[in-house]
Every structure is written in C-alpha cells, then in structure tokens.
Structure 1
Amino acid sequence: MADPVLVGDIGGTNVRFAVARRGFAGHPLISDISVMPGDDFETFDAALKTYCDALGEKRPKQALIALAGPVDEDHVKLTNRDWTVDAVRLAGHCGFRRVRLVNDYAAMARAIPELPDSDFRVLRAGHPDQEGRNPILVSGPGTGLGMATLIPAGATGWRVLTGEGGHAAFAPFNAREWALFERLSESHGYVSRELVLSGSGLNAVHKALCEIDGVAWEETGPAEIMERAQQGDRICRDICEIRARGTLYALGDAALMNGTQGGVVITGGVAERLADWLAAPEAISRFLQRGPMSDYMTPIPIRLLLSGEAALVGAAALHFDEVLSA
C-alpha cells in the first residue's frame, strides 16, 4: 500500500496543505487540512515548516506541492506572489525524503475524475460521451487564470497537459470591450486574459472603465462590486458581464483548439462569485458561437467546480499515479 504524502495547493492568495492517503478504489483521501493566508509568511518554506511542525510525528516522508506558476527543473517562481520554491532546498529544510513540484492546474485537472457530482454546478449539460473518456478542459479565474487539459490514458488512467493559456491575449467582442482593451493597452502594453478576467486585474479593469466613463475611481473590493452590480450600477455590472462572458469566450477558444469534448470545468474563486453571470444565456452564447464550427461545441458540457479542496485531491492523485507506475 502506498505511504501517505503531504500535499499542497499554493495560489496567489492562500496556502493549503493536507495529508493524503490512498483510499477505496484508489481514490485519494485527505485529512489534516490547513488553509493559511499567504500574506502571513515571507517565504513558502516558512509556511511549509509551520504546517510540518503542527503535524509533528504524523508528517509524511514525501511531499507533492502544486503551485501557481510554471515548473522549471524543480524550481517554481510563483506568478502572483514574490516566492521562489526549490524542491531540493525544501527537502533538506523540512526533512523530506523527496519533494515534487507541479503546476497548480496539473493538480486541479487531475482532481476532476476523483470528485463527486455534488462538487460541481452544471452550467450547461451538453451531450458528453457516456464513457467519459474524452479530453476535459480545466480553467478559470481566481487570483490568476490557470489552464490545463485532462487527457485519457488507457482504459482508466489520465494524463495532464499544462500551459499558460491565461497569459494569451484578451480578445474584445463588442465596443465596450474594445474601449477597455485600448485603455488597458495604454497603461499595461500587453493585455492578457488574466489581466481582464482574474482577481489580480480587478483594480486595473475597474479603473479603466471609470476613466472611459469620466467617473472618479475609488478602490472597491470584489464583494462591493458584486453588490453594486446587482443594484444596477453600470460600471460594476459591466465588470461582471465582461469577466463572465470573457471567461466563456476564452474557454470556448481553448475547447475548440484542444478538442475537449469531454467537457469544460470552470474553477477559481472569481468564477464562483460570478456563477449566475456565467450561467446567463449571453455568456453561454459566447462559448458556443464559433461560426461554421458551432455544431462542434454543442455536445460540450460546462460545469463550475465548487470544491476548495480539489487541488489537494489532485496533487494526491498525481503522487499515487507516479507511485503505482514505478
């Protein structure tokens, strides 16, 4: 039986850790979950040591950490936090036999087959293959905008292809979005999907729309923007619509390019707050309308992931996949 493993999910906002074991039918079981604000720590090493000290004698001998940034030979520079993580340094510092680093969306994607239906909200049912063995796109706006494709391997296995699709160029759809794009181009140069759609770009988008409308800008939190949007404030409503519709526009492009007819799973805290906006017919239409290839999009289901522990489960699944294949 596989030994337990310490797993981590390190995003731009929170640091999550857990201990994982291989349970019934091979599904990972996680326990000892800890969620801590990243701002509480100067370095990732300090966050991990805090968790390990709390575990005491229960600390596993191996760790697999999923981080929001590209992995380069056991090093990760987080995209939205000034942390650099080194697997060899961590192993020595915290007494692990081995530490493995993966992109956070590799873990997020690998979690999808391990999670119950209750962890998802169906935004569009579609008509997926009943065998469930087609590729699945996993992406969505949180602090940043991650993206990965889950690919069937053999009769029951899975592989994950990661990339940096969130940093692809934002594509305006209507006059309002073109005006936003042009204003952001003046202030930022390159306008990525992540800048427009994710939490890290909220202030930039809000400020740009205020400037376009000749309104004084004041920094406003996500919850207040949502509340104002519900009350009919034009700029706040436009922020919600642009982000929801832009997310599905971007994911429709990615689904078409990657052939992910097994479905699209939308993730991230921003996406959860925009759930009703994402489910709106205008947003779904952005996903489906692809000219002569629109029929290709029709079978693809769209689901919103609601589990905050998904990447921990996926990190454990990636570890046990490796152990069993060795």
Structure 2
Amino acid sequence: MALILADVGGTNVRFACARGGVIDAALTRRFQNDDCASFDAALAAYLGQVKVRQIEALTVAVAGPGNGVSARLTNRDWQFDTRDLARSLDIDRVNLMNDLGALGYALDLLDEDGVRVLLPAEPSLAAQMQRLVVGIGTGFNVSPVLSHSGGVTCLLAEAGLGSLPSRMRTPLEAYLDKPAPWVRCVEDVISGPGLSRLHHEATGVRLDARVVLERAALGDAAAMASREVFAHMLGEWVQDLRLLYMPTGGIFLAGSVVRALLDSPARDIFVQTVSAQPTVKSTLPPVAISVITQDEAALLGCLAFSLSA
C-alpha cells in the first residue's frame, strides 16, 4: 500500500509516494501552481504520471489556514476538504496539515545536509523540547514545535498576519524616507512579494524577489541596499519571535527567499541583529538558528505525521 504526500506552497506543489515508511525518490514530482487549475488537477496529473495503485492514505501540507478537515491556500483560490479528497480517491484516510507544521514534524528526520547552522548554541535536553519553524517564501508564518513523551506536536499560528512591530517599521521607513501604509502586516514586507514591493517602493523598479537577490549578487547597489534592509528587518522580527515563543531548542528558517538571502553577504547583517539581546529588559541565553536546506523536508514531515496518525 502507498502513502501519497503533498506539500502545497504558494508557488508550487510537490508530491511524493512512500511505501514501507520510505519515500521513493523516483516518484517525487513538482508542479507549478500556475499550470494547475486546482489542487485536485495537480493531484490527478501526478497520479497519472507515476501510476500509483492501492493508495492507503493521502497527507497534504497546505500553506494556509486549516482546521484538520478543510483548508485553503492563502495566496491562491485553492480549497481542500478531507471528505472530498477521500471520496475522489476512494480511500478512508486523508490528513490535512499546515506546511510549517509539516516542517516541524521533519526536524528530527533531517540529516546534516538538510540543515545549515547559522548561529550555534548548546541547548540543554529540556530546552530542546521547544523549537520554532519560521517560513519565509511566498508568504510568512511560524509553527511552534513541542517535543514530549508521545512524540511531537506542531502548533498552529498566523504570525505573518500580525501587525508590523516598530523595531521593523523604523528601519523600513528610514530606508524609504517616507511612511509605508501598504504594510498592513508582517507578511506584507517579510516574504518574497514583500521584498519585491520594498525594492519597488525604494527605487520605482518592480522586480521579482528572486531577481532583486540575483542583481544584488552581481553588485547592483540599489538591489544590495534593499537586500540589506530586508535582512535587518528579518533579524529584528526573529528577535521578537524569540520573546513570543521562547524557542530554546532552536529556530529553523525555511523557504526559498530566506535561503537565497542567507547565502549572500546579507547573512552578516542578519546574524549581527539576532546576536543581540531582544530588548533592554531581556537577558535570554543564546538560541541556535539554522536554515532548512532540504527541498523535500515538508514531504518528510508529511510522512512522519501520516505514520503517526
């Protein structure tokens, strides 16, 4: 019997198939969301390609809010319902989870090649019980990860929809030299589209975040400035997240935007910002900060969740 796994992001959807508790790498596929009318269409295309039979269960990680029975993709009009999916596949079990939660379930399965340490620390065994996954890509969100005797629990959150803290708005508006009323929440600036809008507001040039980072890597002064301000604001936000969630077992950053950003010289700005104490009143011990580098990490988390459900 096969387990079908899906990681649905704002830009693409990844599928995998597992048998005997192991993902078959030959059956892993990625589809661009723009090429699919719905998740159901993408799923049908995947199953048509890999010719999987005797499906036992489907586990889907969605980049958007959900309640375990239904979910929706934040940045696209895709709806998910466990009952409809079970009916269409003629199976009894469909699991819906948040994409950041899937990364949380994957933390203990990632090897050294799947995680890159940015800021090391030595948490105690007890401290490792509380960790935080932070996703920066098409959108922004977090998932607190709690380890306990029964396994792992990944809590739901919508941190990207919270108001922009003053510690982030101050450098933003100083860089733009004007107010930024278009920033209604954290996700409006700390995300791929947020970096694109930041650069546009500063320069009048509208570029995809990937292009901004590529131009910065080539020495474009305007792109480098936008990249550095973005890295500073991200560092300030991570400092707030340390206070809000107390992730003494470590913070794990994920997403294409943050990976590209922290592979650049802007890494030094981010590390310098997060190395300071969050506020003048706080005396927190150092927290390890790492980047999840494995593209299929969320699929591993889907597998772990599916096997434990």
Q: What TM-score, normalized to structure 2? A: 0.89
Kept in 1, the 8 Å contact 2:128–2:248? The answer is no
Distance 1:251 1:62 in 2: 36
SS in 2 for 1:5: strand
Distance 1:73 1:66 in 2: 10
Q: How many residues end up aligned between the 2 structures?
A: 305
Identify if the C-alpha distance between structure 1 residues 80 and 57 changes in structure 2 by more than 3 Å, giving closer, same or farther.
closer
Q: Which runs of 5+ in 1 are unaligned?
A: 211-216
Distance 2:89 2:159 in 1: 33
**1:126 deviation in Å?**
1.6
| Partner of residue 188 from structure 2, selected from 195, 200, 208 | 195
Distance 2:115 2:158 in 1: 24
Name the amino acid aligned to 2:130.
P
Kept in 2, the 8 Å contact 1:181–1:191? The answer is no
List aligned pairs for 1:143-154, cutoff 5 A. 143-154=138-149
Distance 1:269 1:277 in 2: 13
SS in 2 for 1:133: helix
| Partner of residue 184 from structure 1, selected from 180, 185, 190 | 180
| Partner of residue 199 from structure 2, selected from 181, 188, 206 | 206
Kindly provide the CA deviation profile for residues 211-269 of structure 1, in whole angstroms up to 9, marking residues without a partner as x: xxxxxx23323343224324544431222112222222212211222121100000000
Residue 113 of structure 1: aligned partner? 108
Distance 1:278 1:309 in 2: 26
Q: Does residue 291 of structure 2 align to residue 295 of structure 1? A: no
Identify if the C-alpha distance between structure 1 residues 163 and 303 changes in structure 2 by more than 3 Å, giving closer, same or farther.
same
**1:158 deviation in Å?**
1.0
Identify if the C-alpha distance between structure 1 residues 114 and 83 changes in structure 2 by more than 3 Å, giving closer, same or farther.
same
Kindly provide the CA deviation profile for residues 143-179 of structure 1, in whole angstroms up to 9, marking residues without a partner as x: 111210110111x721111201112222354754124
Kindly provide the CA deviation profile for residues 67-96 of structure 1, in whole angstroms up to 9, marking residues without a partner as x: 011103522121011211222112222322
Distance 2:140 2:3 in 1: 27
Q: Does residue 272 of structure 2 align to residue 285 of structure 1? A: yes
Kept in 1, the 8 Å contact 2:195–2:230? The answer is no
Q: Does residue 309 of structure 2 align to residue 314 of structure 1? A: no
Q: Does residue 236 of structure 2 align to residue 242 of structure 1? A: no
**1:193 deviation in Å?**
1.6
Residue 63 of structure 2: aligned partner? 68
**1:38 deviation in Å?**
0.8
SS in 2 for 1:6: strand
Q: Which runs of 5+ in 2 are unaligned?
A: none
Q: Does residue 151 of structure 2 align to residue 157 of structure 1? A: yes
Residue 225 of structure 1: aligned partner? 212
Distance 2:54 2:206 in 1: 42
Kindly provide the CA deviation profile for residues 172-213 of structure 1, in whole angstroms up to 9, marking residues without a partner as x: 54754124495431xx3x522211121122332222112xxx
Q: What TM-score, normalized to structure 1? A: 0.85
SS in 2 for 1:274: helix
RMSD of aligned alpha carbons: 2.4
Q: Does residue 49 of structure 2 align to residue 51 of structure 1? A: no
Distance 2:230 2:246 in 1: 23
**1:305 deviation in Å?**
0.7
| Partner of residue 14 from structure 1, selected from 2, 12, 19 | 12
Residue 96 of structure 1: aligned partner? 91
Identify if the C-alpha distance between structure 1 residues 281 and 293 changes in structure 2 by more than 3 Å, giving closer, same or farther.
farther
| Partner of residue 261 from structure 1, selected from 236, 243, 248 | 248
